Homo-oligomer: A and B are copies of this chain.
Amino acid sequence: MILETKARTILIADDEPDILEIISFNLQSQGYHSICANNGIEAIELAKIHKPDLIILDVMMPGKSGFEVCKFLRALPEFENTIIIFLTALNDDSTQIKGLETGGDDYITKPISPKVLISRVNALFRRITKETGSILQIGDLAIDREKYVVTLNNEEIILARKEFELLALLASKPAKVFLRNEILNKVWGSDVIVGDRTIDVHIRKIRQKLGDDCITTVKGVGYKFQM
């Protein structure tokens, strides 16, 4: 589940096929993984399925407008932090302000230059993660998400897949408390139902391998990683 995010996924919603194609092509040529939706309803459906890292929304679409899609998605916990860029031919200030206040991260007016769009996408991604490469280094611990390898003091530690993903999640934001729900959604997926003790058991296994102190329990809240 975590590995899938190696390449950033971008969802584009526009009712003009030409625009979809141009943007999609340019994003892919930059190494992004792109998904196209032809209208607002489809955008919401595809967002739920693919969990994109960034969503580009045309404002004026038949059915649900970009603003409506944004408002709808922002209300769902899984999309409250997703980056959203509005794209539109409307260039008046008040619409732009409305877009930014609805929860958009950027607002770009058509006609757009694909290169500018990509620059803006890059700028937003740079802002949210400035990690270098796919190796997470926290103290003596190194987590290589691509190779699926964890080393402590340069000694490899064998973790099973779920253990690895759980550790990688917690370590992605050291000291942040991850709620049990959050962990379930991100490691197991929001549609999977597992018992109450499943997380605990995996936490225990990680603790057995890395030492008890690496993960702290915050009772009634969740777990946090600290080296």
Bound: A39/B207 CA distance, A: 55
Mark the stretch among A11-19, A20-28, A93-101, A190-198 that contacts chain B: A93-101
Q: A218 an interface residue at 8 Å Cβ cutoff? A: yes
Chain B contacts of A201 at CB under 8 A?
A: none
Assess whether A147 is in contact with B219, with CB atoms less than 8 Å apart.
Answer: no
Please tell me if the beta carbons of B116 and A127 are within 8 angstroms of each other in the complex. no
The answer to whether A147 and B220 touch (CB under 8 A), given A113-B93, A115-B97, A128-B131, is no
Number of copies: 2
Tell me whether A119 and B105 are in contact (CB under 8 A): no
Cβ contact within 8 Å between A161 and B97 = no
Verify B119–A96 contact, CB threshold 8 A.
Answer: yes
Pick 28 A–B contacts, CB within 8 A, sort by A: A80-B130, A81-B130, A81-B131, A83-B127, A93-B115, A93-B116, A97-B115, A97-B116, A97-B119, A100-B120, A100-B122, A101-B119, A101-B122, A104-B123, A105-B123, A106-B123, A124-B127, A133-B176, A146-B176, A146-B177, A147-B176, A147-B177, A147-B224, A149-B175, A160-B219, A161-B219, A161-B220, A161-B221
- Taking Cβ atoms with an 8 Å cutoff, the residues of A that contact B are 80-81, 83, 93, 96-97, 100-101, 104-106, 113, 115-116, 119-120, 122-124, 127-128, 130-131, 133, 146-149, 160-161, 175-177, 218-221, 224
